[in-house]
């Protein structure tokens, strides 16, 4: 085993002191090594080597970060990765939508970085492949903003239906019975026909107009549902939340502060109620444990026993892309 190995992997990492959060799957990280102590001789610093990416003569790169400055062959794959040095105590790997990024302390020689990459090659390749597959799934879930398009709401499909003659009580949109609106050939989930979201828009409404009305409706539903679930779980956990705000973050599903403030990504409204309950319980549990310790996960499990499966579901299922 690599002499500096200290492996940690967790999707849920604190954003900053006192503000734990639950992150959407963007980049997964692992950390290797610690800075030398006073009992260890400090390795002599080396200047970063010139980029090792060749202009020719090599097999096509399987994975390439757009800011790649170095490359390495890991098993069957050639991986071009972003490499930076900084004031840190360990070698860190981050695998996200763009590929592999490596951060290393200034004191660690490149030979140690290369050894660490080889040591964790299986993990890196697996995460790169998972990231590529997830990106492909996301590309398939771009919403087509038109009459008859479908999107998920609380884990079930709803179909968009333009209805210029209906005001929907000035709300701009309303969920209706399927038989009222469903066009022929509409998508369904399982054996249940989708509901229809009627929109007070003209037939010639632009995709941007349709998107804006739908987003406003979804955000209203998100606020209502999230507040109901917060009120449900807070007494069970013996905590009190003070304020809830909707988040539009691209890589974080929720966050909590010690003062009782909760932020939840409104796009969670696309997922099933069970997944929403997990995220709500996760953030409320931080009001008891501002960390991700075993005691924290025990707290989550006390109200959501199957949280591990729901956590995987949140990670694996692709929310639709808003274009």
Whether the per-residue pLDDT at 232 is higher than 70: the answer is yes
- Domain check: are 116 and 263 in the same one? no
- Domain check: are 248 and 169 in the same one? yes
For residue 60, give both structure tokens.
């096509």
Among the candidates 139, 173, 194, a domain finishes at: 139
Query: What are the pLDDT digits (tens) for 182-204?
Result: 444 444 444 555 689 999 899 89
- Domain check: are 290 and 189 in the same one? yes
- Domain check: are 243 and 130 in the same one? no
Q: What is the mean pLDDT of the chain?
A: 79
CA 9 from chain centre, in angstroms, equals 15
User: Is there a domain that residue 6 lies in?
Assistant: no
The β-bridge relationship of strands 173-176 and 252-256 is unpaired
> Which residue would you say has higher pLDDT here, 5 or 35?
35
Cβ(147)–Cβ(159) under 8 Å? no
User: Is there a domain that residue 278 lies in?
Assistant: yes
> Which residue would you say has higher pLDDT here, 280 or 27?
280
Phi-psi region of 11 (alpha: psi -120 to 50; beta: other; left: phi over 0): alpha
| CA–CA gap between residue 191 and residue 181 (Å, rounded) | 18
203-228: b (≥16 Cβ within 10 Å) or e: eebeeeebbebbeebbebbbbebbee
Whether the per-residue pLDDT at 70 is higher than 80: the answer is yes
User: Is there a domain that residue 3 lies in?
Assistant: no
- Domain check: are 159 and 283 in the same one? yes
User: Is there a domain that residue 38 lies in?
Assistant: yes
Show the CA angle centred on residue 300, arms to residues 299 and 305, nearest 5°. Answer: 115
pLDDT band of 221, cuts 50, 70, 90: very high
- Domain check: are 40 and 126 in the same one? yes
- Domain check: are 101 and 157 in the same one? no
Mean pLDDT on 134-139: 67
- Domain check: are 27 and 48 in the same one? yes
- Domain check: are 187 and 294 in the same one? yes
Domain count, the chain: 2
For 148, the enclosing helix (H) or strand (E) is none
Among the candidates 115, 139, 163, a domain finishes at: 139
CA 34 from chain centre, in angstroms, equals 28
- Residue 119's SS3 state is helix
Cβ(180)–Cβ(163) under 8 Å? no
H-type alpha helices, 185-264? 207-237
Q: Which of 97, 91, 99, 35 is nearest to 69 (CA)?
A: 99
Among the candidates 81, 106, 139, a domain finishes at: 139
Per the structure, the complete domain to which residue 263 belongs is given by: 150-316
User: Is there a domain that residue 197 lies in?
Assistant: yes
For residue 124, give both structure tokens.
């890196």
pLDDT at residue 229 in the model:
97
- Domain check: are 291 and 267 in the same one? yes
- Domain check: are 156 and 285 in the same one? yes
Residue 200's CATH number: 3.30.2010.10
- Residue 299's SS3 state is helix
- Domain check: are 133 and 158 in the same one? no
């Amino acid at each position: 085993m690599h002499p500096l190995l200290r492996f940690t992997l967790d999707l849920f990492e604190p954003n900053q002191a006192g503000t734990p959060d639950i992150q959407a799957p963007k980049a997964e990280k692992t950390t290797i090594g610690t800075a030398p102590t006073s009992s260890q001789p400090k390795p002599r610093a080396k200047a970063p080597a010139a980029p090792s990416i060749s202009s020719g003569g090599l097999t096509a790169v399987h994975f390439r970060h757009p800011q790649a400055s170095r490359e390495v062959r890991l098993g069957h794959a050639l991986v071009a990765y972003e490499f930076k040095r900084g004031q840190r105590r360990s070698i860190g790997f981050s695998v996200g939508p763009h590929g592999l990024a490596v951060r290393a302390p200034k004191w660690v020689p490149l030979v140690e970085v290369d050894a660490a990459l080889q040591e964790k090659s299986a993990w890196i390749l697996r995460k790169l492949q998972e990231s590529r597959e997830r990106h492909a799934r996301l590309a398939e879930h771009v919403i087509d903003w038109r009459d008859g398009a479908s999107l998920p709401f609380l884990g079930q499909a709803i179909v968009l239906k333009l209805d210029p003659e209906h005001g929907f009580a000035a709300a701009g949109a309303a969920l209706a019975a399927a038989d009222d609106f469903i066009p022929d050939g509409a998508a369904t989930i399982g054996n249940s026909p989708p509901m229809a979201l009627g929109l007070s828009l003209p037939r010639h409404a632009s995709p941007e107009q349709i998107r804006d009305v739908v987003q406003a409706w979804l955000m209203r539903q998100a606020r209502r549902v999230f507040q109901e679930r917060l009120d449900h779980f807070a007494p069970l956990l013996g905590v009190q939340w003070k304020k809830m705000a909707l988040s539009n973050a691209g890589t974080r599903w929720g966050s909590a502060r010690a003062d009782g403030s909760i932020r939840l990504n409104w796009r969670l409204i696309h997922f099933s109620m069970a997944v929403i309950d997990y995220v709500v319980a996760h953030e409320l549990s931080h009001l008891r444990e501002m960390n991700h310790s075993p005691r924290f996960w025990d707290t989550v499990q006390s109200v959501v026993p199957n949280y591990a499966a729901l956590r995987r579901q949140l990670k694996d299922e692709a929310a639709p892309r808003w274009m």
